[in-house]
Chains A and B, each alone.
Chain A
Amino acid sequence: MKVLLVSLCSNPLSDLEFVKPVERILRNISVDPLIKHHSEFRLKDLKSVDKVIICGSALKDKAFLESGSFKILRESDKPILGIGSGFHLIAKIFGCDLLDKTRIGVFRVRLLNKNILLEKKYFYAYFMTKKAAKIIKPLKILAKMGELECMIKHEYKSIYGCLFHPEVMNTEIILNFTLKT
Chain B
Amino acid sequence: MKIGALFSGGKDSCLAIYKAQKFHEVTCLISLIPESEESRVFHFPNIWVTKFQAECMGLPIVHMKTSDEERRALNDLSRALKLAVRMFGIEGIVTGIIKSTYQASRVQMICDKLNLWCFNPLWLKDPKDLLSEILERNFKVIISGVFAYPLDKSLLGRTIDASLLKDLFEFHEKYGINIAGEGGEIETTVLDAPMFRKRLEVTDYEIQYKDNSGIFRIKDLRLINK
Contacts and interface: CB of A to CB of B under 8 A. Distances in A.
B124 A13 contact: no
Interface residues of B, number: 25
Contacts of B20: 13
Contacts, number: 58
A128 interface: yes
B1 to A, nearest CB: 8
A16 B108 contact: no
A123 B118 CA distance: 27
Contacts of A14: 119
A105 B105 contact: yes
A138 interface: no
Interface in B99-153: 101, 104-105, 108-109, 111-112, 115, 117-126
Nearest to B124: A21
Contacts of A20: 124-125
Nearest to A12: B23
A104 B115 CA distance: 15
Interface in B10-36: 19-20, 22-24
B9 to A, nearest CB: 21
Given A105-B101, A167-B124, A58 B23 contact: no
Interface in A9-34: 11-14, 16-17, 20-21, 24
A102 B1 CA distance: 25
B94 interface: yes
Nearest to A18: B123
A81 B133 CA distance: 31
Interface of B: 1, 19-20, 22-24, 94, 101, 104-105, 108-109, 111-112, 115, 117-126
Given A11-B1, A16-B121, 16 more contacts: A11-B23, A11-B117, A12-B23, A13-B94, A13-B121, A17-B120, A17-B123, A20-B124, A21-B123, A24-B124, A58-B117, A59-B111, A59-B112, A60-B115, A104-B109, A126-B101
